[in-house]
Structure formats: C-alpha cells, structure tokens
Structure 1
Amino acid sequence: MSDWLHSFYADVDAQQTERVLDRFTPDGELVFGSNPPAIGRAAMREVLENLRAALSGMRHEWCNRWTVDERTLVLEARVHYTTRGGTEVVLPCATVIDRDASGLITSLRIHIDSAPLFTALDAESVTAQPEPVSSDKAAG
C-alpha cells in the first residue's frame, strides 16, 4: 500500500476528522453506503463526526487493491467497527478513490451495506434507555 494511502487510512481508523478532511479538495465528495453524497468539507465533517460519535473504534483489514490509473484506486476491505457499547461489527466494503493532479481526493465512494452496523447501534441505544418510572414507583 502506498505511503499516502497508508497514512490516510491511519487517520481514518484513528477517527482524526480534520486530518482526513485535509486530504480532500474543498469541494470533495464523500459517499457512505446508500446515503446521499456529502459534498464539501462541512458536509463531510458532519458525516465523519456522526460516525465518530457512534463508534469507539474502527480498523480496515485490506483484501485487494486495484490501480485504475494514476488518479483512481479501487480498494476491497473488511472494516471492523467497534460500537461505544463494545460490539464489533465486521463488514465487507469496496471503496473507489479519485484524486486530482495534486493528490487531493475529489471523490471517495464507500460501497458498503451498513445495515448490520446500524442494527447494532440501535440495539445498544434501546438497552441504554432508562426504564420509565411508573406512577406506583414514583409515589413510593
């Protein structure tokens, strides 16, 4: 794996939002799963911060890499997500990265079925909800 790619994904896995965003053009595009594209650093920051708030960690396990040309890569990975509650969810993923002549990312498209991750997050949020206090307990 090239140095810039290794460094970029080290920042992604460490959830270093600003360092990740510094690798994009100002009008760059981030697409995660079936979500609409986040275009521009402010929109991408929101996506990354929402993900960071839900996770205690993530790690990419690389499977394959294809270089289409000097500006386009296709990556295959298994992404290990760890929720705040400690659940690990491992998902297969394919990512297409396009860069401009200066090496900044113009488009990063993550093709992933994130439903199992969000199912785990939803399950944790339900179990973390406080029990409602019944009027009998409140009076007692």
Structure 2
Amino acid sequence: MAQIFLPLEWVAYTSTEDNARLLIKHGAMVKGTYALHVAAGCNRSRIGMVRLLMEAGADINGMPDFDDIYLVYGSNYSQTALHRAAQTGTEEVVALLMDYGADRTKLDARGYTAMEIAEIHGRFELVDLIRSYETGAS
C-alpha cells in the first residue's frame, strides 16, 4: 500500500517556506494534514517551516488517526508533532513547539509522552529541554 503525500506535506519536508506560502495562499489545507508532523520530525532544522505552518493554523497537538501512517513516519502509532520532533527532530524545533503550547503531557497511541519518546531514542538533550518546560526553567 502506498502513502500519498498532500502537496503541502511534501513541501514541508523537501522545499522552502516560500513554496509553502504559495500553496497556502492558493488554498492548500493546513489543519488536518500532517505537514507539521513531517517538518517537526525532520532531522535537519525546518524551524521556519514549523513556524509558518503553526501560524497558518496547523493543529499543534493533532495526531494522525489512520492505520497506514507507518509508510510516512516509520511507525504506526498516532503521535503529535512534538512526539515526532522528540524522536527525530532538532532541539530548536522542540523548543519552538513548546513555546507555541505543545502539550508535553499528551500520550501517543502507545501511551508515551514526547519526553519518553526522546528518552527511548537516546535524545537526552531533548529530555532535558522538555523537562525544563515542566519545571518552568525554560
């Protein structure tokens, strides 16, 4: 079974903010897509793209709810953008998501928080960063 990316999801991963703005200007759906998840989970900084998508209405705490997302995200577990960033994203993207109000307590389909996902994947700098929001030290 193949997974088809919506144009904005593909642009969120591979292209520029200018191209994303152009798609959004011409009616590309932002809310209800996984563009934010794709940008947040990118292993290179996509901070500008993440910011643009959030400002355009992406659901910061939204979670995929269909069975074949394994083909897109490498797991079949519904997760938020913060979960994706905690697993494979960058420190600056995690901080931005937290600054925009990402729910650090939200559980994925397996019952893990983003901080637990970071810990499972050995992303201890992200564990410390998320924990700093817990204690108000950010």
TM-score (norm 1): 0.26
Give 1 or 2: higher helix fraction: 2
Give 1 or 2: higher strand fraction: 1
TM-score (norm 2): 0.26
